[in-house]
Structures are given as structure tokens and as C-alpha cells.
Amino acid sequence: MKTKILAILLFSVAMALTGLTGCKTASQHSNELHDANGDELTVGVVQKEIKVGMAGADVAAALGSPNIVTRDSEGHESWVYDKIASEVSYSEGSTGIFLILAGVNRRSGASKTTQKTLTVIIKFDQDSKVKTFSYHATKF
């Protein structure tokens, strides 16, 4: 009987120690939050891909379809890419040890919110080639 009690007590202590060390800290959760750096439209993509004299089809292949297409009184097109992104990530973990009369619960977590905007304006000449382009980006 004493051997069973001793084995249960040792098992309980081992589980308590394992459980308490298994919980992540808030900074560990923060490091695991999603960071979107995939194939999104960025200032770097615009600077790298768009060149004066480029054909509209090549612009569409590089940046995708524009949000707005306008034509001025002289018949020149302008394309506007207006992108807004909001990303909210949350990571949480908890560990609990509950013995017969007492319990310990430990929770940690982190959240991250990012807002980004990018506006790109591409103006074409009479031959539908890029005449000028400009951009404005914010991140907060």
C-alpha cells in the first residue's frame, strides 16, 4: 500500500514539474505570430517591376488587376491600385496541474494588430505604355 502511495506521489510531482515547464511565455507566443510576407503588393514590388514604357499587359501581369481604371479627356488611362490590410493575430497557451486538494493554472498569450495601406497610380500614354507611376504607403 505504501508503495502505491509513494508511486502516485512521485507521479504527481513529476506531472506537476512537467506541466509547469511546458507553458510558453508571452514573448514566446509573440514570436510565433503570423507575419505575412508572401506574394502581396508592396512598394518593393512596384519599384522592382514597374518601368516607364512598360505595356499595360505587363503591368497587369506584375501587379494584377487594378481597383480603379479611369480615362482622361485626352483618352489616356490611369490605373489605381488601392490596397488596405488589417491583420490581427493572437496566440495563447495554458497549463494546469490539479491534485486532489489544490490546483495551479498558468496562462500566457500575445496579440498583434497591424494596419497597412498602399496606393499605386499608373498613368499611360497614347500608346498604352506606362508614362508615369507613383505610390504612397503607410503602416501602423
Q: Would the pLDDT of 112 be above 60?
A: yes
Q: Report the mean per-residue pLDDT for the chain.
A: 81
Averaged over 19-23, what is the pLDDT? Answer: 52
Q: Would the pLDDT of 11 be above 60?
A: yes
Q: pLDDT at position 63, please? A: 96
Give the pLDDT band (50/70/90) at residue 39. Answer: low
Q: What is the H or E stretch that residue 109 is in?
A: strand 103-124
**For 42-89, how does the pLDDT look when each residue is reduced to its tens digit (9 = 90+)?**
999 999 999 999 999 999 999 999 999 999 999 999 999 999 988 887
